[in-house]
Structure 1
Amino acid sequence: MTQALPVASRSQAWRYARSLFRAHPGMFRATVGLHLLAALAGLAGPRLLGELVQEVQRGTPTGQLDRLAATLAGFVLLQSVLIRYAYLASARLGEQVLARLREEFIARVLSLPLGTVESAGTGDLLTRTTRDVDALSKCVRLAVPETTIALLTGGLVVVALIAVDPVLAAPLLVGVPITVAGTRWYVRRAPSGYLRQNAAYSEVTDGLTETVEGARTVEALGRQGQRVARTDRDLYRSWRAERYTLFLRTVWWPVIEVSYVIPMVLTLLTGGWMYLRGTVTLGALTAAVVYVQQLIHPLDRLLSWLDELQVGAASLARLLGVAEAPQPPRRDAPAPDGSPLEVRGVRFGYVEGREVLHGVDLTLRPGERLAVVGPSGAGKSTLGRLLAGLHQPTEGSVTVGGVPLSELAPDRLRAEVALVSQEHHVFVGTLRDNVAMARPRAPEPDVRTALAAVHALEWADGLPDGLDTVIGDGGLPLTAAQAQQVALARLILADPHTLVLDEATALLDPRAARDLERSLAAVVHGRTVVAIAHRLFSAHDADRVAVVEDGRITELGSHDELVAANGSYAALWREWQGEAPEKPPDTARARPREDAPL
């Protein structure tokens, strides 16, 4: 069962949004200044138009009218130029703000403990990384500057209208209560509605991702109908969430349209009545009506983008919520060299109430090779993940030099212990970059040495461009065995103090895996190695063997000691050797068959 990542509060989201723009004070002031000048230039139009009408009524000579018309055209041209540069400044500011936000979001995601990511599920994190980032991008680049422009323009238009005649500005007060009431009704409901909408979309993404990744299993077990039903349920919940936000908009927008029309009608009626009584000139009436008409556009733009701001605020809260996920305290101090890795009273479960490991105790001696064996589902891989610091125990501790792995800074942790499992990934880029991820500045000889250590240099040199060949999605595809060798080469280059190999050679054939493990043993000599294995030649060559059954270490000792004890390991060894169950165990360290099944 997945547990969604946290969501930040509205106050946290708005504080963070303000801090983003404050990080670029010069550009922000320039952007606001250009929009302000453009709005001021736009105010001249209605006033000049009113004067032009007034002068026509008076019978003013054509030359003076031409000068007024030319002045009006000049202000229109000036406003167009200012708007152009104001929008350009807004776009630049928005892109810089968005770039910083994306970088910080990626940093937050990469700092999350793996257990937190796995418990949240891929759908929630994927939706935040794609849909929420896209929504916020639109908000930052468009909604924020548009609402800023609308606020500046609207405020200046109201001031200009009052300057023409305060009485003609009075009808605006009629529309204010309607606008405020409708907007408050909408704003109280919209944030939670959009959060539900995004959460429902995360469930859709999660379900579709599971179905695609497990398509072979779904088809093999004939569970297509079940997955379709799951998708239908998720889509129905998403539809209901989107229908609710659509309902909010279909109520709010008509109310706002009414709040526009009523002041316009009242201004025309009031102004016409005042003109007939001679208390206002035709020019002033014309300017007032145009100003009221001009006010509709920024208000309409402000309120229409307010909806996009609600979407952006919900997306920002979800992105910031990633940082609210619980994380253990970290220490920057390294553990002393040569310190043992100790497991004390460790209990762990992926789901509350269902433990996988039950009170495990283990001490890894510096420089020793420990093989972990046992039946499938016994908890071997889980123990390996705890030893690598990828999961934190629910009880007990995993420490190196007395320092819990959970308190080591990520860089320090990876220098102490690293994990290679069957779950490997080839990134888009050159083969050299893929191997050198562990040490980006590693010289080419070190990269080639790491590839040679895992028997990959021969096929690497045979690629079209050698180490510069682009692999990964869109590049040259690697086989599963080659991808696993790349993952092992990264580990060699990283050179941690402790290596955890979770069936890291399982995708290779038995003889190749045997040769590779011998090579690895020579390369990592002096390092502590934990090999979680299903091929018992790994256990045969190890200094000690830990047998894990039902989440407990039931046997611990050397190969010879455990075979002599005639327990679970001895039974596994006989099966590996192809001996009959009733045959007495052979305690001699005979060479194991490399092609025998476990």
Structure 2
Amino acid sequence: MHAVLVVSYALVIQFLTMVVTRSVTINFFVLLLMVVAFAVTMAVVGFRGGFIKQKLETVYLYDVRVALFTKMVHQPVGRILTQQVGNSVAQLTNQLELLRTNYLSAMLEMMSLALQFGLAFGYALFLNGGLAITILLLEIPAVLVPILAKNILAKAKTPVITQMAHYTATMTNWVQGLTTIKNFGRESTFTRLHEQEAQALTAAEQHDILIRKIIAGLSALSGDAVYLGTWLIGTYLVLHRQLGVPQLMAFAQLSVSISFPVEALTDMLTELLGGRQLFARYQKQLTADMPLAKLITAPTAPAQSFLAFDHVSVAAADKEILHDINLHFQAKDRVVVVGESGAGKSTLVNTIFGYQSQVSGRVFVAGVPVSSSTAQFVTDAIGFQSQKTFIFDASVRDNLTLFDDQVSEAAIMHVLAAVHLDTWVVNQPAGLATLIGTSGNELSGGERQRLALARNLLKPKHFLVLDELTSGLDQQHAKMVEQVLFSLPMGFMLITHQFDAELLQQADYVVQIKQHQAKVLSPAAIQALLS
């Protein structure tokens, strides 16, 4: 509709010229009303068209964001661990905005301009076929410029996309480490490094702008040739009485309606080509098949143990980390795994959740081999808590329930009491609505770990795996966390590099990982280890 009204400008100008030349007689007041009505119609149509266009864009972005985030949260953890946070955030934010401006908007605008071009050229043919063909011939250089420049435009846009993604990922990482930068007095170093990153991004953007403007300038030159050529040839036809003045005025307006879409094509094609690359990336990511959930089979696990490692060996980069591990535990067993840093304790944990490729052997959970089960099957059976507990920027309730509003307050307070945090929550003015954050100081290290324990308890698990649960805590808080842990009704595997006598004596089993092997220690061996 907007394209129709834009072309209608030529008809309005032709009619006004006919009034001026007295070819048509009309009451001035009526003429005024007609012009005002046309202007109001243009404004309303412009508003409505612009609103619908941007609404369509936002709906599309919403669908892409939802689909992309769904893909992110359902991908294997091993893949998540290899991705940079900044790149993932950029895909949901600024890169998606680039897709909107450089692809969606350009596509919709090109469709509108194509319709405008077709209508304007059709009207020009109706007025004077010869002059219309002449205008079209004059447009040929303007059409050829963007076509010939297609590869140049694409190459100029690619570095901008690459540099923007790199800059976003780098800045996200540095901002997360601002405290470390300050503590080590490296402000000037990172300021200098940031200038280099910003300069690289700016250089890519400026080069892209230069290429676009050069090509756009050539296209604009062709557009001027069309406009002035229309007047020049039209004047010749008027002087030779082959064209009327009203028709010339209409042609002058039509030449703009014809040349503008062609001129705009240059900049739009630039954005469209760059946006097309982004679109292709998103399309590839969204259509890529996720690893299919494997059917759960249930072969007999050794000794019908809840958690079993059956001749498990693990290597990475051709270096053996674990060799022929054979361990079997029941769901109620309280297991402490000790070993020096780098001995392979975390690798052992990774095999349970399928994050680590296994050279040989199998890991069983509830009699089911991990390699033949779904990730959800394992996480439903076993809770995991890492050394660095992640706290969302949200309320205590949301951090415990992970934003599940179906969990009752009674259930939440029950698990908080189990980890001795119920009093802390009650003493907060906002209670469970108290806001805590990723990097805030609202919680001590011990409170963060106990909050994470409560998070695991809120969704019943058969067994817990805890990696360096008390590492980094002072002795008082470490003992408090350990006391809570040993009071829980389920079994657990606690990974630690600390050879603490009280901790080891409370365990049902103590496993030592040393020289790539794991061995269950006897009471005598534990005493020897502590001596």
Find the partner of 2:7 among 43, 53, 78.
43
CA 1:441–1:476 in structure 2 vs 1: closer, same or farther (change >3 Å)? farther
Residue deviations 1:111-151 (CA, integer Å, cap 9, x gap): 23333233233332233233212323445774444333222
Q: Is 1:502 paired with 2:493? A: no
Counterpart position of 1:294: 257
Q: Is 1:342 paired with 2:309? A: yes
Range with bigger deviation, 247-256 or 340-349: 340-349
Separation in 1, partners of 2:311, 2:139: 68
CA 1:480–1:185 in structure 2 vs 1: closer, same or farther (change >3 Å)? farther
Residue 275 of structure 1 aligns with an amino acid whose one-letter code is: V
CA 1:413–1:549 in structure 2 vs 1: closer, same or farther (change >3 Å)? same
CA 1:239–1:403 in structure 2 vs 1: closer, same or farther (change >3 Å)? farther
Deviation at 1:498, TM superposition (A): 3.1
CA 1:440–1:495 in structure 2 vs 1: closer, same or farther (change >3 Å)? farther
Q: Is 1:53 paired with 2:17? A: yes
Residue deviations 1:362-404 (CA, integer Å, cap 9, x gap): 4442312322111112222232233233x23163354436755
For 2:487, what is the secondary structure of its paired residue?
helix
For 1:499, what is the secondary structure of its paired residue?
strand
Counterpart position of 2:217: 254
Counterpart position of 2:353: 388
For 1:120, what is the secondary structure of its paired residue?
coil
CA 1:402–1:172 in structure 2 vs 1: closer, same or farther (change >3 Å)? farther
Separation in 1, partners of 2:74, 2:9: 55
Q: C-alpha root-mean-square deviation of aligned residues, in Å?
A: 3.3
Check conservation: 1:42, 1:76, Cα contact below 8 A.
no
Deviation at 1:196, TM superposition (A): 3.0
Counterpart position of 1:359: 323
For 1:280, what is the secondary structure of its paired residue?
coil
Find the partner of 2:74 among 87, 104, 111.
111
Separation in 2, partners of 1:474, 1:218: 15
Deviation at 1:491, TM superposition (A): 0.9
Separation in 2, partners of 1:58, 1:511: 100
Counterpart position of 2:456: 491
Deviation at 1:98, TM superposition (A): 1.5
Q: Is 1:376 paired with 2:341? A: yes
Residues paired across the two proteins, number: 523
For 2:67, what is the secondary structure of its paired residue?
helix
Check conservation: 1:435, 1:486, Cα contact below 8 A.
yes
Check conservation: 1:151, 1:302, Cα contact below 8 A.
no
Residue deviations 1:525-582 (CA, integer Å, cap 9, x gap): 3x4x2110234344332232222235x12x4114415337xxxxx34x22xxxxxxxx
For 2:3, what is the secondary structure of its paired residue?
helix
Deviation at 1:299, TM superposition (A): 4.0
Q: Is 1:132 paired with 2:95? A: yes
Separation in 2, partners of 1:224, 1:59: 77
Check conservation: 1:370, 1:543, Cα contact below 8 A.
yes
Deviation at 1:334, TM superposition (A): 8.3
Check conservation: 1:428, 1:473, Cα contact below 8 A.
yes
Separation in 1, partners of 2:495, 2:484: 17
For 1:459, what is the secondary structure of its paired residue?
helix
CA 1:307–1:347 in structure 2 vs 1: closer, same or farther (change >3 Å)? same
Range with bigger deviation, 248-257 or 398-407: 398-407
Separation in 2, partners of 1:382, 1:54: 87
Range with bigger deviation, 99-108 or 288-297: 288-297
Residue 465 of structure 2 aligns with an amino acid whose one-letter code is: V
Question: Percent identity at matched positions?
Answer: 23
Consecutive unaligned residues of structure 1, counting only runs of 5 or more, are 1-36, 565-569, 575-598
Counterpart position of 2:376: 411
Residue 75 of structure 2 aligns with an amino acid whose one-letter code is: L
Separation in 1, partners of 2:289, 2:323: 24
CA 1:453–1:151 in structure 2 vs 1: closer, same or farther (change >3 Å)? same
Separation in 1, partners of 2:33, 2:509: 95
Check conservation: 2:234, 2:243, Cα contact below 8 A.
yes
CA 1:230–1:279 in structure 2 vs 1: closer, same or farther (change >3 Å)? same
Counterpart position of 1:430: 395
Deviation at 1:459, TM superposition (A): 0.9
Spell out the pairing of 1:96-245 with structure 2 (5 A cutoff): 96-139=59-102, 142-215=105-178, 230-231=193-194, 233-245=196-208
For 1:556, what is the secondary structure of its paired residue?
strand
Check conservation: 2:335, 2:511, Cα contact below 8 A.
yes
Separation in 2, partners of 1:472, 1:184: 52
Find the partner of 1:456 among 385, 409, 421.
421
CA 1:399–1:95 in structure 2 vs 1: closer, same or farther (change >3 Å)? same
Residue 279 of structure 1 aligns with an amino acid whose one-letter code is: Q
CA 1:303–1:100 in structure 2 vs 1: closer, same or farther (change >3 Å)? same
For 2:242, what is the secondary structure of its paired residue?
coil
Separation in 2, partners of 1:208, 1:87: 34
Residue 325 of structure 2 aligns with an amino acid whose one-letter code is: D
Separation in 1, partners of 2:339, 2:6: 79
CA 1:170–1:93 in structure 2 vs 1: closer, same or farther (change >3 Å)? same
Residue 256 of structure 1 aligns with an amino acid whose one-letter code is: S
Counterpart position of 1:13: none
For 1:523, what is the secondary structure of its paired residue?
coil
Counterpart position of 1:588: none
Counterpart position of 1:83: 46
Counterpart position of 1:3: none
Separation in 1, partners of 2:196, 2:372: 41
Q: Is 1:530 paired with 2:530? A: no
Residue 381 of structure 2 aligns with an amino acid whose one-letter code is: E
Q: Is 1:548 paired with 2:516? A: no
Spell out the pairing of 1:553-572 with structure 2 (5 A cutoff): 553=517, 555-560=518-523, 562-563=525-526, 570-571=528-529
Check conservation: 2:392, 2:438, Cα contact below 8 A.
yes
Residue 395 of structure 1 aligns with an amino acid whose one-letter code is: V
Q: Is 1:93 paired with 2:56? A: yes
Separation in 1, partners of 2:173, 2:12: 65
Check conservation: 1:143, 1:308, Cα contact below 8 A.
yes
Counterpart position of 1:596: none
Check conservation: 1:438, 1:491, Cα contact below 8 A.
no
Deviation at 1:481, TM superposition (A): 2.4
| TM-score (normalised: structure 2) | 0.86
For 2:21, what is the secondary structure of its paired residue?
helix
Residue 50 of structure 2 aligns with an amino acid whose one-letter code is: Y
Residue 347 of structure 1 aligns with an amino acid whose one-letter code is: V
Check conservation: 1:207, 1:231, Cα contact below 8 A.
no
Check conservation: 2:153, 2:212, Cα contact below 8 A.
no
Separation in 1, partners of 2:111, 2:369: 50
Counterpart position of 1:280: 243
Deviation at 1:287, TM superposition (A): 0.9
Check conservation: 2:512, 2:521, Cα contact below 8 A.
no
